[in-house]
Structure 1
Amino acid sequence: MVGVLGIALFSGMDAVMKGLVLAIGTIATMFWRNLTGIVLSGALYLPRRKAWPAASTMRIHVARGVLSAAMGFLFFWGLGRVPLAQAVALAFIAPLIALFLAALILKEEIGGRTIGASFIAFAGVVVIFVGQAHADLGREATIGSVAILVSAVLYALNIIIMRRQALVADPLEITFFQSLIVTTILLLALPFVGVQVPPLAQWPWLLFAAALAIASMLLLSWAYARAQASYLAATEYTAFLWAMLFGWLFFDEGVSWFTLGGALMIVAGCILAARKPQDASPALEAAT
């Protein structure tokens, strides 16, 4: 339930970010949102920290920060060119890939029920994408879709790193260092792309996006410390339901019968993947 709530807030952040990307551009939106995130998360983390993270933990923070910067840029760039629901639908290849990466990297045991449920949910995504393909969205949307697909592959790896990270660091530490590292990477890119201070009217939205991102990361970090990545990956599919709602409310993006049918399949897959909490508890072997 905490994981689902984290995904809901993250989906809300996507909707705010889409509006910002259209208004001030991708790099500017990511840079100012993450810079704001450093201030907000630092105010929570720095007064409470007992010591700086160990070198091994910092390597995980850096790895996820670099990955998040690349995947975030590709996703938000694509998000500015395709409907919100379609972007999230394309990104749903990530949990499916994460299932197998969890088995390969984390040595987690993947049950047939979880695999079957993920395939049902992914089939729902395919139904949605087929329906979206009937609309002529133009060349920009095609390129944006490719960017989102590449971002989804990176996000699958991010899910696995998130699981390792959650076992060695608390949510506040994770949130602070991710904002710090992503901002540092974007700062290095500024001399080449140039970024201006956003208009005053955009700052409330940047603050709102940063707050949603931080709240989402805190909730997801808490959840991933208490359940296996292969189990929680199925909760990612609920993001489409929120994207469908936010796309309709804020961007006047319609919802087809393909979309509704696919959403039902996604929900069915998530319900099927659910199992008893004790079966999803993190095993000691995963921390070694």
Structure 2
Amino acid sequence: MRFLSLQSHVAYGYVGNRAATFPLQRLGHEVWAVNTVEFSNHTGYGAWRGRAASAEQVGEIVQGIEALGQFARCDGLLTGYVGDAALATVILDTARRVRAANPRALWCCDPVLGDIDTGIYVKPGIDVFFREHAIPAADIVTPNHFELEHLTGRRISTLDEALEAARTLLGGPLSGPKLALITSLRRADAPVDLIEMVAVTHEAAWRVATPLIGFPIAPNGTGDAVAALFTAHWIAGNDVADALGKAASSIFAVLEITLAMGERELQLVAAQERLVAPPRRFTAEKL
């Protein structure tokens, strides 16, 4: 398969395109990575160098790929961190162009806003762009727990609350995303030593749980990798449960290696064999 990926880039570490591209390539897929920012490292370190790409630059790169006639071969569009609200128009326009060339292409929108332990870490207005424009136009949306609460204005403590909130992102049955994937759910009515991912459609929902790995500082980029892996597996097999189980198994294997090596950044290269063939398999259950 072939993916167009508009996400952030860091020279050091693995978030955004750096977290999504290698796993997809290791699974045998082509990725056309367009970087929305060029940073030395992700912002979780508190200090970084670099800058956001201009909307004009990102748009020109996208149009250059389109001019090669490649959009007709694009199976999926991945979008994530948006460094500047000016990029909003470019992202929406890119989705329209890809779909015009290949109506079967799916858009996975990762509404990167923040996390439970950091709060919001994007510029003002980015959340409005995701809530009012990007999410209603996407096919798949992949918020983490914090982002789901922020986007829906709801506190989520139970599985039922999570399912209800996720379905508000789906909109009506004839418009809006086909599926919402909660990439990290931490609810009060679940064992404290587990972390869950939940996939929700209008008709059904699936849950997979993996052991919670205790890091001194949790690695960034897991959501970016999961969104890419899930999308690829879902497009390949059209099976939500299978895609959810495979994505969870792969990221758990990467996190195990990362902890064993004592690293703060996802060890995607060191764990590449386990990324493709995880030693421990987790199965998603239908709720």
Do they fold alike, i.e. is TM over 0.5? no
Larger Rg: 1
- Larger RCO (CA under 8 A, 6+ residues apart): 1
The structure where strand makes up a greater share of residues is 2
Provide TM-score, normalisation by structure 1: 0.32
The structure where helix makes up a greater share of residues is 1
